[in-house]
Amino acid sequence: MIAGLSHAARLVRAAYVFAREGVFGVVDPSLIPPAGQLPVRLARLIERPGAKSGARLSRALTRLGPAYLKLGQFLATRPDVVGAAMARDLEALQDRLPPFAQEEAEAVIAASLERPVAQAFVSLSPPVAAASIAQVHRGEVEIGGVRKQVAVKVLRPNVASRFRRDLSDFFFVADKAEQYSSEARRLRLVEVINTMSRSVAMEMDLRLEAAAASEMAENTKDDPDFRVPTVDWDRTTHNVLTMEWIDGIPLNDHKRLAEANVDTVELGRKVIQSFLRHALRDGFFHADMHPGNLFLDPEGRLVAVDFGIMGRLLPKERRFLAEILLGFITRNYRRVAEVHFEAGYVPAHHSVENFAQAIRAIGEPIHNRLAEEISMAKLLTLLLEVTGLFDMRTRPELILLQKTMVVVEGVARSFDPRLDIWKVADPVVREWIQRNLGPIGKVEGALTGAGELGHTLSSLPTIVSRAVTVLNQLEVMTKDGLVLAPETIAAIGRTERGRTRGRTAALWIIAVTFIGVLIAMSRL
């Protein structure tokens, strides 16, 4: 009961901030159950002047703090949950917060590295950038008598406990929504928050970000157009990440790029092809490739920073991506449909022919347009919408890929509005298909399959033994019935009591929300 009231108090504050920033004004009334329409109308009465302009939800999330900022950024990658319009609003959400004090940062560094800051760094500047989880300082180190410039990323003090508290509120809301809403269960809101929780946990261990940068550096070491900053592992811990400082031009600084006479058409090509190589060839891609995280170094190579959000694609997903892109290019819609069924994305009870017809409805308009008018990102968005009609369950890795493709394509076209996305992508896609689906790839696939078959055959005696044990247990259950241990019965009782407390807490939330709205109205 106490925990429920704590959730309620914090959620009422969040609801008040949403109301003040006019968030309830963008909610479609037809989507609100009759019981919720009156509270929403009351909430509209306390909108602050000027709240009707701009990105209302982004403003509210920024006011509510780091966890809500991350929630907004995460939901921007899930248009299947929040809708396309809301996702576009959230894409503009800036993860920028005031920096914390230099003294606090140096205390975190000293405690994490177990030595004074002066011993670890020759110099350490005030913060040059600050976000919800960490901030970045420019530093200088001396290695082998040579001084080098580094970027030092430091976690915010006590950020983990703040996130845990707010994430518990998100879980509370998601769980209650799934209890009372079939739509919430379809969207798997608890799983959405679970995924976000895992992502944030990884971002708050800077060793994992360093490992992601190191892995991508190995994958791209032979790429002529792309590179990754070097990690300084001697000065990297859970709370501190030290990397090579990049003296390059940020891709969002178009003025400096123009002054440097950069070939922007070629730069757009590098952005698209680099991303596709990482996704198809490596199955490991930077999932936050906005212009502020990309630099152009003096050698003309792209350099990525901030590896907190990464995406992975298994071989099956890579084949899926390559074949659907090639299928749309060649107008082989039947093959695109077959790939969905072969990969298990669309349930087998659906018709391949009907699904191919839906795919054709997406692909045919492409062939009536000029190349620069065709958006690969939009195509993938439409594809995910169509697959939803055929009961394709949400696949986070494909959603993340699609959202990253939207950002990457937007960056590339900002440099070349007439960019032929298909012509640029074609050599990368065809190279991957020839390597993986051609004769060499089929031979390698057969060898891999043979190895897996041999492993299964060697495990056959154990599998048979386990099957016999299960059959014996089923026979006993059939003869004697299912017997519950006293501990199990007690656990069931505790669960039922917990559900009752949950319903009571939900009623308290409604009551306290009304009280909060009425108090706010009385002060207007």
**H and E: helices and strands count for the chain:** 23, 10
What value does the mean pLDDT take over residues 484-491?
A: 59
Crossing angle (nearest 10°) for helices 66-76 and 84-91: 130
Identify the pLDDT of residue 517: 40
Q: Are residues 64 and 156 in the same domain?
A: no
Q: Are residues 288 and 422 in the same domain?
A: yes
Q: What is the mean pLDDT of residues 134-160?
A: 93
Same domain, 101 and 85: no
Query: Predicted confidence band at 278 (pLDDT cuts at 50, 70, 90)?
Result: very high
End of a domain among 189, 209, 244? Answer: 244
Does 177 map to a domain? yes
232 catalytic per annotation: no
Domain boundary, last residue among 74, 94, 114:
94
Same domain, 261 and 217: no
**Structural domain contains residue 323:** yes
Regarding whether 1 and 49 lie in a shared domain, the answer is yes
Mean pLDDT of 182-208: 81
524 in any annotated domain: no
Is the pLDDT at 255 greater than 70? The verdict is yes
Q: What is the pLDDT of residues 374-387, one digit of tens each?
A: 676 667 667 766 76
The residue written with tokens 């599998």 in the block is 463
Q: CA torsion angle for 199, 200, 204, 207 (degrees, to 10)?
A: 0
Please report the pLDDT score of residue 507 as a whole number. Answer: 45
440 versus 254: the higher-pLDDT residue is 254
Residue 121 has pLDDT above 80, yes or no: yes
Q: Exposed, middle or buried by CB within 10 Å (0-12, 13-18, 19+), for 299?
A: exposed
Q: Is residue 220 part of a domain?
A: yes
Query: Of 386, 317, 290, nearest to 73 (Cα)?
Result: 290
Identify whether residues 24 and 133 lie together within a single domain.
no
Which of 80, 166, 169, 288 is catalytic? The answer is 288
Confidence of residue 208 (pLDDT cuts 50, 70, 90): very high
pTM tops 0.85: no
Same domain, 367 and 452: no
| Residues 338-353, mean pLDDT to the nearest whole number | 84
Domain count, the chain: 5
The SS3 call for residue 48 is: coil
Query: What is the C-alpha separation between 507 and 285, in angstroms, rounded?
Result: 45
Q: Give the domain-ending residue among 68, 94, 120.
A: 94
User: What is the average pLDDT score of the chain?
Assistant: 78
Residue 479 lies in a domain: no
Rounded average pLDDT over 294-319:
90
pLDDT (0 to 100) of residue 202: 82
The answer to whether position 522 is within a domain reads: no
Confidence band for 506, pLDDT divided at 50, 70 and 90: very low
Whether residue 359 is contained in a domain is answered as yes
Instruction: Say yes or no: 235 and 163 in one domain.
Output: yes
Which residue did the predictor score with more confidence, 6 or 168? 168
Q: Are 470 and 495 within one domain?
A: no
The CATH code of the domain that includes 111 is 3.30.200.20
pLDDT at 342: 83
Query: In this predicted structure, what is the pLDDT of residue 112?
Result: 95
Domain carrying residue 105: 96-244
Q: Tell me the pairing of strands 134-143 and 123-130.
A: antiparallel
Q: Does residue 307 sit within a domain?
A: yes
> What pLDDT does residue 508 have?
45
Cα separation of 321 and 303, whole Å? 25
Range of lowest pLDDT (191-200, 351-360, 493-502): 493-502
Q: How confident is the model at residue 302 (pLDDT cuts 50, 70, 90)?
A: very high
pLDDT band for 113, please (50, 70, 90 cuts).
Answer: very high
Q: Given this model, what pLDDT does residue 105 score?
A: 95
Task: State residue 22's pLDDT score.
Answer: 76
Question: What percent of the chain clears pLDDT 90, i.e. is strictly above it?
Answer: 27
Output the DSSP codes for 246-284: --SEETT-HHHHHHTT--HHHHHHHHHHHHHIIIIIISE
Q: What is the mean pLDDT of residues 225-232?
A: 95
Give the span between the Cα atoms of 375 and 366, in whole angstroms: 9
- Assess whether 375 and 448 both reside in one domain: no
Residue with tokens 């290695």: 143
CA distances to 19, 61, 86, 89, 289 from 55, rounded to whole Å, are 14, 10, 10, 6, 22
| 189 and 225 in a common domain | yes
Integer-rounded Cα radius of gyration of the chain: 27
Q: Pick the range with the lowest mean pLDDT from 212-221, 251-260, 329-338, 348-357.
A: 329-338
- Domain match, 262 and 361 both: yes
Question: pLDDT value at position 31?
Answer: 59
What pLDDT sits at residue 328? 77
- DSSP assigned state of 46: T
